[in-house]
Structure 1
Amino acid sequence: MSLLEVEGLDAGYGDLKVLSSVDLRVADGEYVTVVGPNGAGKSTVMKAIVGIATCLDGSITYRGTDITDMAPEDVVHEGIGYVPQTNNVFPTLTVEENLRIGAYVLETVPEERKRAVYDRFPVLADRSDEDAGSLSGGQQQMLAMGCALMLDPDVLLLDEPSAGLAPDLVGDMFDRIDAINEAGTTVLMVEQNATEALRRCDRGYVLANGENRYEDDGDALLNDETVRKQFLGG
């Protein structure tokens, strides 16, 4: 049984349908990437899973439980963490305050998880008393991931984690995501840097015009001539 499974999903915003019959599965411990051109519906898949986009048809199950149309706060309680592409930290609050907000659904903030985040992202520990808005783009992405990890999710959903980063920081960001997965957290990621994402993941999906186009191991998709020409720039 898959940890997370999307079947025949039609989803969008209100009456606007963006996805048509999308299928996706993620096994426990896997690292799965969704790629495709702008407007393909990649982010909408993530938003549908966490209850932000509207599910019009199909189903989303997590550990065998139907979470279709579940409220976002309830999805978090199920063990799914989500890092949106933009507006993913509170810029006027400190790093420490952002991490505490990441654990808002708990009665008390788990100090051991905060320490684990600081161990994983030492720069955040060094700047814990500084406003999040003063951090670089890469550091803000680390903070956003740290906030999601405060709840120790079984699966982490990442929406375009390398977006807006300087080219020399992209590799470091992917290294950190690799480490999160290797430590036992399942990762489902939407990513604009398709070549690098597919090189690192276990399996990948290619979406176009809101529909599944290809699914295979990351390396197989990278080496597929049609996929390269149509979606990876040759």
Structure 2
Amino acid sequence: MSLLHVEALDAGYGDLEVLSDVHLRVDDGEYVTVVGPNGAGKSTAMKAIVGLATCFDGSITFRGNDITGLPPEAVVHEGIGYVPQTNNVFPTLTVEENLTIGAYPLETVPEARMEAVYDRFPALAGRRDEPAGALSGGQQQMLAMGCALMLDPGVLLLDEPSAGLAPDLVDEMFDRIDEINDAGTTVLMVEQNATESLRRCDRGYVLANGQNRYEDDGDALIADDAVREQFLGG
């Protein structure tokens, strides 16, 4: 049984349907990437999973439990971590305060888990008392991931983690995600940098116009002539 399974999903916002009959599967320990052109519905798929978009039809199951249409706070309690593309930290709060908020469902903040986040992202450790708004874009993205990791999620959803980063920081961001997955966290990522994300992942999906177009191992998608021509710039 898949850890996370999206089956025949129609979803969108209000009365607007963005996704039609979308299927996604993520197995325990996998690193899965969703790519496609702007407007393909990639981020909507993520938002539907975490309760930020409306599910019109189909189902979403996590660990065998139906989570279709649950509100975001309930999805978090199920064990799904989500890092949105923008507005993903509290800029006026310190790094440590942001991490503390990441652990809000817990009765006490697990200090060992916080130290594990600092070990994972050393650039944050020396700035734990500084406001998040003073961090660089890459450091803010690391902090957002750290906040999601405070709950030790069963799967980590990342929406465009390289967006807005300077080119020399993109590889570092992907390296961090590789390390998170290698340490045992399942990852589902939507990413604009299609070739690099597919090169690093286990499996990939290509969405276009709100529908599935291709699914295969990351390397196989990169090697596919049709995928390269239509979605990877040749």
Equivalent positions of 1:151-170 (< 5 A) are: 151-170=151-170
| AA partner of residue 203 (structure 1) | R
| AA partner of residue 209 (structure 1) | N
Separation in 1, partners of 2:28, 2:164:
30
Separation in 2, partners of 1:33, 1:61:
18
Task: Quote the residue 2:65 is aligned against.
Answer: 65
Separation in 1, partners of 2:53, 2:100:
26
Task: Quote the residue 1:230 is aligned against.
Answer: 230
When the two chains are superposed, the root-mean-square deviation of aligned CA atoms in Å is 0.4
Q: Alpha-carbon deviations, 1:165-205, whole Å to 9, x = none?
A: 00000000000000000000000000000000000000000
Task: Quote the residue 1:5 is aligned against.
Answer: 5
Ranges in structure 1 where 5+ consecutive residues have no aligned partner: none
Shift of 1:71: 1.2
Aligned length: 234
Task: Quote the residue 2:29 is aligned against.
Answer: 29
Shift of 1:137: 0.3
Q: Is residue 210 of structure 2 the alignment partner of residue 199 of structure 1?
A: no
Aligned residues with identical type, % of pairs: 84
> TM (normalized to structure 1)?
0.99
> TM (normalized to structure 2)?
0.99
Shift of 1:140: 0.2
Shift of 1:123: 1.0
| AA partner of residue 4 (structure 2) | L
Separation in 2, partners of 1:219, 1:113:
34
Q: Alpha-carbon deviations, 1:42-86, whole Å to 9, x = none?
A: 000000000110000000000110000111111111111000000
Ranges in structure 2 where 5+ consecutive residues have no aligned partner: none
Runs of at least 4 residues of structure 1 off by over 2 A? none
Task: Quote the residue 1:122 is aligned against.
Answer: 122
